[in-house]
Amino acid sequence: MIIKPKVRGFVCVTAHPTGCAANVRQQIDHVKAQGPIKNGPKNVLVIGASTGFGLASRITAAFGSSAATLGVFFERPSEEGRTATPGWYNTIAVTQAARSAGLYAGNLNGDAFSDEIKKQALALIARDMGPIDLVVYSLASPRRTHPKTGVVHKSVLKPLDVPYTNKTVDTDKGIVSMVTIEPATEAETTDTVAVMGGEDWEMWIDALVDAKLLAPGATSVAYSYIGPVHTWPIYKDGTIGRAKIDLERAAHAIDAKLKTHGGGRALISVNKALVSQASAAIPVVPLYISILYKVMKAKGTHEGCIEQMQRLFATELYNGSSPRLDDEGRVRVDDWEMRPEIQDAVSAIWPQVTTGNVDDLTDIAGYRSEFLRLFGFGLPDVNYDAEVEPHIPMS
C-alpha cells in the first residue's frame, strides 16, 4: 500500500516502515560518527525502548558501546488496512542493524507494568545476556494497571489548585490562542503519580536484584524534564511535576539499594524539550518548543533525542569519572536549553507570537517536520509515492 501521514489532533495514525527504518539509520550513523564510548555498558535493559529517548538510549548503547540490549515496549503490529505503530517499525530496524553488526538484540512487546513481562524479561536476560550493567527507565504511558491491586490508573496533564491560562498553538493549523486548563482533582493527581512516578522503576530493580541479574556496580537512569517558567504550571508544578517528584524519590531509594550492590548508582537525567508523541499532547508546550527550536538552531546548539543521549552517555554516565550533578543530585543535559541567553530570547519572543507571525517568530515548520519524522515521514531518499509492505513481523 502507499502510506501517507494522517494526522488527527496531536497523533499521526499512520506510520511508514521505510521512513522509520531511515530515521533509525540516521541515529545509528550519528552515534557511530562520534566514535566509541569508552567503558560504556555491555548488557543493557531499556524499558520503553521503541521511541524517543528510550530508542535513542538503546541505539547509543548498542552502536556506541557494542552492548547487548533487551528492549521492552508496548507497540501495535499492523492490521488489515492499518499500519503498525512507529515503535514497531523502529524496533525492527534497530534489531536488524544490531544483529547485522553481531550484537545481541532481544525484544519484549507487552505491558512493562505487569509482573508477567518482568518475568519474561528476567528469563531472557538469564538465558541470553547475563547480569545487566545498565537499566534505562524511559516508560511513557497514559495508563497503568497496577500489578498488585489490579486498579487502572490514568494520568492527566493538568495544573494543581487553580486553573492555568496561557498561549498555545495548534501546530497543524498554525493558530495561536489562549487555553485554560482546569486543575486536577486529588484523585487525578494520585493516579498520575501512580502511572508516571517511580514505583514501577523500583519494581524492575527489585526484580533484577532478587533474580541476581543485576551486575555489581550497575547504573540505572530514568528521564525527566523541568523546563522554563512558561510551562511550569502545566508541567513542573502540575500533575506531571508531582509524578517527577516521586520519580526522584524512587531514584534516591534505588541509588541506596545499588550502592550496597557493588557500588552501583541510580540517576535522574533532566533532558531537553523535544518533539515527541507525549509532548505534543501537552497544551502550551508545543508553542514553547517551536520558539526554543528557533532560538537554539540560530545559536547552533539544537539537539534531538539521539544527540542528547549520545552526549549523556559519553560525557556524563561513562566519562571516566563522576557525572556533573545539580544541587538536587540530577544530571542536567538540558543545560544548553536552560542557558540564560536562550531562555531570555524565548521570553522575549513569547508575548509577541500571534497566528499572523507564528511562522516567522517560531520554528513551527521544524516542529511539524520533527513530528512527522516520529512516524517515518519526511525522511530524505524515501519514496513516499511507492508501494510499501506494512505487515512486517517482529523477529
Mean pLDDT of 274-282: 82
In the structure, what pLDDT confidence band is assigned to residue 395 with cuts at 50, 70 and 90? confident
Over residues 61-90, the pLDDT tens digits come to: 999 999 999 999 999 999 888 999 999 999
Q: What is the mean pLDDT of the chain?
A: 95
Q: Is residue 298 part of a domain?
A: yes
| β-bridge mates for residue 176, sequence order | 169
Q: Is residue 388 part of a domain?
A: no
Over residues 330-342, the pLDDT tens digits come to: 999 999 999 999 9
Q: Is residue 224 part of a domain?
A: yes
Contact 337, 329 (CB under 8 A): no
Residue 336, judged by CB atoms within 10 A of its CB (0-12, 13-18, 19+), counts as: middle
Residue 281 has pLDDT above 80, yes or no: no
Q: Is residue 71 part of a domain?
A: yes
Residue 278 has pLDDT above 80, yes or no: no
Residue 299 has pLDDT above 80, yes or no: yes
| Other Cβ atoms within 10 Å of 263 Cβ, number | 10
- CATH at 49: 3.40.50.720
Contact 59, 306 (CB under 8 A): yes
**89, 235, 293, 318: which is the annotated catalytic residue?**
235
Q: Is 198 left (phi over 0), alpha (psi -120 to 50) or beta?
A: alpha
Number of domains in the chain: 1
Over residues 114-149, the pLDDT tens digits come to: 999 999 999 999 999 999 999 999 998 999 999 999
Antiparallel, parallel or unpaired: β 143-145 and 152-154: antiparallel
Over residues 350-361, the pLDDT tens digits come to: 999 999 999 999
Q: Is residue 195 part of a domain?
A: yes
Contact 309, 248 (CB under 8 A): no
- What pTM value is reported for the model? 0.96
Q: Which residues of 191-212 are buried (b: 16+ CB within 10 A; e: fewer)?
A: bbbbbbbbbbbbbbbebbbebe
Cα within 13 Å of Cα(1), Cβ side: 17
DSSP-based helix, strand, coil % in the chain, nearest 5: 40, 15, 40
DSSP state of 167: E
Give the range of the structural domain holding residue 178, as residue numbers without chain letter. 7-373
Active site residue 104: no
C-alpha span between 137 and 135 (Å, rounded): 6
